Amino acid sequence: MEMNTNSIEDLTQHFLRKLSILKNAVILSNATADQSFLDVKYSLAELLDRVKLLLRSMRRDVDIAKEQLQGYEDMKIKYCDFIQHLQFAITNIPLKLATKKCLHGQLIPQVIATDQCRMDYHLKSNVHQTTRSCNYLDFLTVYEFEAIPKYMKGRLTYEKMNTIIEQLDKVFSEKYQVLKQKTASLSDVNRKRVELFRVQENKDTEGIPFVTEKDITDLSSMKVDNSVRNMMTILRHCNILQEIRGGGYVRFAIASRF
């Protein structure tokens, strides 16, 4: 090994450093027989084991924290969707809400059985001395609309469905307004309509308001095409309308909602 020394002092310092290294090497080579060294070694080994256990525990805590964070993220997404639904519902409240008044003026929910519906309707007709009274259709709620299978509603929107319901409601109102008129006050057109309305009735329609496709086209500007028929199917699925067949007629009657 080459040594760059300029004086005897530099050479002396160089050899002293080498001797110090050799001395430390000899001391360490005999350390395995020193009990104090072994105590320190075992103490350090035990400390390292504790550190490993602590690191393993911290990794588990980190994994648990990651799972909790993912759960919070999923919950955040759900709450954001829920808030969007609420905001949509607030901005799309139906113009008419599904409430009825009983004979004594008390509010009752629009949730009654078929037989009860017929009985209430019959009682109202007798009290007001009219042959019919108009029952109004219920608007779909946002949740009812979203529960409709996708294959049924396709690209149909919530607003479009409730628009159709409102138009159908007007057809019911128009029909039963005509039926409430006295025969003497009827025009020729309405007299023919009343005769047709009577022909369409049977034992299954007693006490239940209904309309037919002809009523819809005659009493409104709606055209009963495939799109409208699909919406009628959806209204039956949502238990807003029910079909009553017989005598060559397909009747769309107001259904009881549970």
**Per-residue pLDDT, 233:** 92
Question: Residue 128 has what pLDDT?
Answer: 38
Supply 150's token pair.
């996708």
Locate tokens 């037919």: which residue?
212
**pLDDT for position 60:** 92
Q: Indicate the SS3 state at residue 226.
A: helix
pLDDT per residue as tens, the chain (258 positions): 455 656 788 788 888 888 888 888 777 776 666 777 778 878 888 888 888 999 999 999 999 999 999 999 999 999 998 898 888 888 777 655 554 443 334 443 443 334 444 444 444 444 433 333 335 688 888 888 999 999 998 899 998 998 899 999 999 999 989 999 888 888 999 999 999 999 999 999 888 899 999 999 999 988 889 989 999 999 999 998 999 998 889 999 988 755
> Residue 3 has what pLDDT?
56
CATH superfamily of 142-254: Ska1 microtubule binding domain-like (1.10.10.1890)
Distance in angstroms (rounded) separating the CA atoms of residues 138 and 257 = 9
Q: Give the C-alpha distances (Å, rounded to integers) separating 57 from 48, 53, 61, 83.
A: 14, 6, 6, 38
- Model pLDDT, residue 136: 63
What pLDDT is recorded for position 22? 84
Q: Where are the domains of the chain?
A: 10-90, 142-254
Distance of alpha carbon 84 from alpha carbon 94, whole angstroms: 17
